Structure 1
């Protein structure tokens, strides 16, 4: 019998690499709107972006996807990329930036453990922008399991973080 394996608690997901139809259009979203820094390019077919000087958190490429239609809503594949902000104020700042740019959002939710904004990149790839509440504030059910919620996020209250 095989011994059960549990991934080490220190494990992190390092980056996401997305197939895109138009590299410049995707850079407009991830670099110009969301504010990631361009760290390197691979010719005109790939770009690598970072937060805080890491080699890359997001890779974009057109190797097999140049000129392709948006990702289909149904079917297998990536549901969304989740980008974690350290504070609620940082989430409020990106929400304000998205609003000023008039970029469409697909949703906003309070999950109890976190607050999240949802939008799609130009290729239809889902993007979640969120912050985690402190762990001691997470809701738990009577069995001690984390109780994830899906409630509307109070966006006006979120924006008050900027006052």
Structure 2
């Protein structure tokens, strides 16, 4: 049997997160990160997006209203990764977080991308990143990717705003 390969144009369409407090989640995703609300389902759920897509992120309290965060040491979502179109766009987001004194949990250069890590108010992991142009991705001698994790030069990233 020939192995199946998923079509190259396939994308992850959206992520749907359980949250304890919808307004608190919207304060983070809408007010701090800048997503737009495309629709609300009363006080139980919201769909948010960038650029008018029907939704990149769904937020709901259907099974989680006023609940505790999911245990860190359990199976589940590690993080939602939000891809910014340019390095400057990532720098704008990082500056907004720093100006709001929002805690970051990490900042890494992966060779193929630069990323900032944080948790949303429900302790769901969030990665904010931008991809370097594919021609700049580091490669091993055999042509495979040579991704790594090194400290991100955050002051250098913020120089994009000068």
For Structure 1 versus Structure 2, the TM-score category normalised by the shorter chain is over 0.9
Q: Cα deviation per residue 1:63-91 (whole Å; 9 max; x = unaligned)?
A: 00001111211110000000000000000
- The equivalent residue for 2:99 is 100
3-state DSSP of counterpart to 2:5 = coil
- The equivalent residue for 2:29 is 30
- The equivalent residue for 2:148 is 149
- The equivalent residue for 1:44 is 43
3-state DSSP of counterpart to 1:106 = strand
TM-score by length of 2: 0.99
Return 5+ residue gaps in structure 1 as ranges. none
The aligned length equals 162
- The equivalent residue for 1:89 is 88
- The equivalent residue for 2:63 is 64
Q: Cα deviation per residue 1:29-73 (whole Å; 9 max; x = unaligned)?
A: 000000000110111100000100111000000000001111211
- The equivalent residue for 2:108 is 109
- Pairwise CA distance, 1:3: 2.4
- Pairwise CA distance, 1:124: 0.6
Distance 1:48 1:73 in 2: 25
Note the aligned Cα RMSD (angstroms): 0.6
Distance 1:73 1:92 in 2: 28
Distance 2:35 2:42 in 1: 19
3-state DSSP of counterpart to 1:92 = helix
Displaced runs of 4 or more, over 3 A: none
Q: Write the mapping of 1:67-82 to structure 2, written as runs, cut at 5 A.
A: 67-82=66-81
3-state DSSP of counterpart to 1:116 = strand
Distance 1:28 1:73 in 2: 23
Residues 72 and 124, structure 1, Cα contact 8 Å, conserved in 2: no
